Amino acid sequence: MTIEIDDAGTGDILYGTVIGAYRPEDDHFIYDMIAVKYFQMPLYKNKTHLVEAKRIAVELIERLELREDEKIIICTGDVLNVATEALLEIYGEDVVERGKIEGRGQHLVELAFTNELRNIGYEPLAERTEKWGKNFWHMYKWINKKPKKRLKFAKSAFPNLKKYPLFK
């Protein structure tokens, strides 16, 4: 038995980040979101998004009620580093390991993120994860069409965004 923890949307400039937990044996998936405010100043400079990822990951495992002899595989993405440390402290090295999340677990967390994007009025590209550059510009242009209304949905504290007029 296994619980897989993955993230989606961390590298996108739009909206928050989904942290999802999936138990393949019974096809049970739950998730929560790191709100976009944690990717905006002043919260981002204090790395509070990492603390939120930890809180969410621990809470998801509690909600799924980790079973005896069950393993937790947590994605290797940086946003889950602090979460991994916390889970290791709670459950130990015999239970928690880092790994690549693929298949249905990855699909469900990506689907949750794209559905959250639709909830704010943005229609994500079908090939969002395969074509990052195209995805970036699609999101950028969407925000830029109505910046006063949409900039609140942007992960505006990312340092590399300062070179773009919308984020200056």
Burial class from Cβ neighbours inside 10 Å (0-12, 13-18, 19+) for residue 89 reads exposed
Question: Whole-model pTM?
Answer: 0.94
pLDDT attached to residue 168: 84
What pLDDT, in 10s, does the model give residues 39-61? 999 999 999 999 999 999 999 99
At residue 131, does pLDDT exceed 90? no
Q: At residue 128, does pLDDT exceed 90?
A: no
Residue with tokens 């009620």: 65
- Number of domains forming the structure of the chain: 1
> Which pLDDT tens digit goes with each residue over 150-166?
999 999 999 999 999 99
Contact 37, 153 (CB under 8 A): no
Q: Dump pLDDT digits (tens) for 96-109.
A: 999 999 999 999 99
Distance CA 80, CA 49 (A): 10
68: nearest Cα among 94, 49, 88: 94
Query: CB under 8 Å to 25, separation ≥6 — which residues?
Result: 1, 2
**Which domain covers residue 63, as residue numbers?**
2-167
What's the whole-number average pLDDT of the chain? 95
CATH code of the domain in which 159 resides: 3.30.420
> Which residue in 138, 136, 127, 135 sits closest to 163, CA to CA?
136
How much of the chain, in percent, has pLDDT values that exceed 70?
A: 99
- Dihedrals phi, psi of 66, to nearest 5 degrees: -45, 130
Report the distance separating Cα 117 and Cα 64, nearest Å. Answer: 25
pLDDT at 109: 97
Report whether pLDDT(132) > 90: no
